[in-house]
Amino acid sequence: MKQIFLVEDDRAIARNLVRLLFAEGFAVTHASTCEAARDALRQSRFDLALIDISLPDGNGFTLCTEIKDAQDIPVIFLTASGDEPSVVTGLNLGADDYVTKPFRPRELAARIAAALRKSGRSGSVITIYGLQADLKSGIVKKNGREVCLSALEYRLLLVFLSNPGSILTRGRLLDELWDAAGEFVNDNTLTVYIKRLREKIEDDPASPQIILTVRGTGYRLGDPYAAQ
């Protein structure tokens, strides 16, 4: 599980971010001041930092430099200061991205995933119930044997693997497949692709362990999962 370091002094925003990140499959350590952040850096290792700029005892620009020096991890600024000079300063200090408040949860999760991939910290192989997906090569294996997936089936599988712990509505899945395919994907088509994917990756498609149905809502990735 990837470790996210959140430095945010607004308790309500921090609470919502912790919930969001946990739902996306991340572990989160939260600090509300520069001093607390420095203590956490000495005690733990992280995979990515989300930092507010305005903090009670300092600013995120200085903290970004310290985090880069101490652990050399991706840093994303998350702040209400969206003016051009602030953005340029943050990026010049080595920040990997800059997200302004209010932010869209799915966009933030996507930016975190992109920063982790760019840094090589996202984990190239995901394993669950005998299924292995190598994200670099695009090869999927079940119990050691390669599984042949269509482009849409592979995209659908990636959506589930990228959102452990999250319930994915049919609407969300349709949006994801539309973006990937560039063609119309309707509700009936989604049902067909879920069925085909289960037939290829599940030990028993009639009793799935990897892609679970959440009645009345959508689907979710089964537990446990492991990224190696």
d(CA 178, CA 152): 9
Which of the residue ranges 24-33, 114-123, 189-198 would you say has the lowest mean pLDDT? Answer: 114-123
Q: Average pLDDT over the chain, rounded to whole?
A: 84
Q: What percent of the chain has pLDDT over 90?
A: 34
- pLDDT, tens digit (0-9, with 9 covering 90-100), for 172-206: 888 777 644 455 678 888 999 999 999 999 999 99
**Average pLDDT rounded to a whole number, residues 76-97:** 77
Q: Which CA distances in Å does 35 have to 7, 39, 41?
A: 11, 6, 10
Contacts with 148 (C-beta within 8 Å, 6 or more apart), sequence order = 200
Burial letters 47-65, b for 16+ CB under 10 A, else e = bbbbbbbebeebebbebbe
Number of Cβ within a 10 Å radius of residue 181:
13
The pLDDT, as a whole number, for residue 228 is 38
For residues 53 and 59, is the Cβ–Cβ distance under 8 A?
yes
CATH 3.40.50.2300 fits 3-119, yes or no: yes
d(CA 58, CA 56): 6
For residues 130 and 165, is the Cβ–Cβ distance under 8 A?
no
**149 φ, ψ to 5°?**
-115, 145
On whether the pTM is more than 0.75, the answer is no
Is residue 58 over pLDDT 50?
yes
The pLDDT, as a whole number, for residue 105 is 82
Class of domain 125-227: mainly alpha
What residue has token string 């994801």? 176
More confident residue, 83 or 16: 16
Grouping H, G, I as helix, E, B as strand and the rest as coil, residue 169 is strand
Give me the residue spans of the domains in the chain: 3-119, 125-227
The pLDDT, as a whole number, for residue 165 is 72
Which of the residue ranges 47-51, 121-125, 193-197 would you say has the lowest mean pLDDT? Answer: 121-125
**194 φ, ψ to 5°?**
-60, -45
Q: Which helix (H) or strand (E) holds 47?
A: none
